[in-house]
Amino acid sequence: MEFSAQQIADYLKGKVVGNPEIKVSNFSKIEVGEPGTLTFLSNPKYTDYIYTTKASVVLVNDDFEPTKEVQATLIKVANSYDALASLLTLVDSVKPKKSGVSSLACISEKATIGENPYIGAYSVIEAGAKIGNNVQIYPQVYVGDNVQIGDNVILYPGVKIYKECVVGNNCIIHAGAVIGADGFGFAPTEDGRYDKIPQIGIVRIMDDVEVGANTTIDRSTMGATVIGQGVKLDNLVQIAHNVEVGDNTVMAALTGVAGSSKIGKHCMFGGQAGVVGHLSIADNSVMGARCAVTNNIKTPNGFYHGYPHMDAHQYQKAIACFRNFPSFRRDLMDLQKQVKELQEKLNNIK
């Protein structure tokens, strides 16, 4: 489908600068833009590309003012990144959705399936499972006994949801994710072995959550491991047993949260960040990449880096000192040498 710049601007409530009749039928990155495509400029690091891109239309923020001629037609909007997301959502919504139940799927007679499902080949849905309306279950998904799945959920290939776990409405769980595996609970014995502690709780995922590929969320020892509404987990994230993740928190790849920690709302975790067990983290806390939280964070709105975690501004100062350690060492050794020489001269005078 083709859309003119003016049609797109009308949809986004934006303003056209350039040819309003030029048409686009696809998207592209600004640095490799091609004629007939739409791109966007949000990050200032990419500003130079707007003068060389071959894309026909570029979404820009309202305050963008070119310093030289731009060949593309511009659409000025309040936030170009949000506007792009809106367009991509629109395009995705009109794509045909899979439907129907494969004859190769294995569905228990005691399972309940909602309206308009898609269930792919070799998927297994066990007894007592309740599947909502408009759910898409791709091939080789496993849904265990008494699992509850809400409406408009997508389970991509190879997702495994263990018994009795709950997934809310409008959730997306990507390939290979495992929901409800046993938490890492073992009790040491006198003879040096470890006895397994049964994990009899569940995982409860609230509405509008997205779980990345190969992410694991462990069931609780008792009660529930809870993933709050609107949470977004990247690929390869580990959420341990009894953890609670507050609403609208986001975690980048390789983040790990140890057992029984409680993460506040609207928190952000960079890649490879970690949280030790039994901690509480206040709302709106931001952890940079590889940050390791080792103590409770009681004050909201903080920004942290490092291991162990510290205030980001203090961390930057500490890193600046660390980088200068070799020169500090040389200066210290020179100073020690000078002190020694002075001491020897004083001893000779005596």
- Sorted by where each begins, the domain ranges of the chain are 3-94, 159-308
Catalytic residue selected from 174, 241, 305, 309:
241
- CATH assignment, 159-308: 2.160.10.10
- What pLDDT score does 219 carry? 98
Strands (E), 182-334: 186-188, 194-196, 202-205, 210-211, 216-218, 224-227, 232-233, 238-239, 244-245, 250-251, 256-257, 262-263, 268-269, 274-275, 280-281, 286-287, 292-293, 303-305, 310-311
- Three-class DSSP category at 310: strand
Q: Rounded mean pLDDT of 93-103?
A: 91
Token representation of residue 315: 């961390």
Q: Which two tokens stand for residue 310?
A: 């510290």
CATH superfamily of the domain spanning 3-94? MurE/MurF, N-terminal domain (3.40.1390.10)
pLDDT at 254: 98
What is the structure's pLDDT at 349?
A: 81
Question: Which whole number is the average pLDDT over 30-47?
Answer: 96
pLDDT confidence bin for 324, thresholds 50/70/90 = confident
Q: Does 241 participate in catalysis according to the annotation?
A: yes
Distance CA 47, CA 201 (A): 51
Pairing of strands 210-211, 172-173: parallel
Predicted local confidence at residue 37, as pLDDT: 98
Residue 294 has pLDDT above 80, yes or no: yes
Indicate the DSSP class of residue 97: P
Average pLDDT of the chain?
96
Confidence (pLDDT) at 325: 87
Give 350's pLDDT tier (boundaries 50, 70, 90): low
Range of 89-93, 132-136, 307-311 with top mean pLDDT = 132-136
CA-atom Rg of the chain in angstroms:
28
Q: Residue 350: which residues within 8 A CB-CB, separation 6 or more?
A: none
In the beta sheet, which residues pair with residue 250? Answer: 232, 268
The pLDDT tens digits for 250-277 are: 999 999 999 999 999 999 999 999 999 9
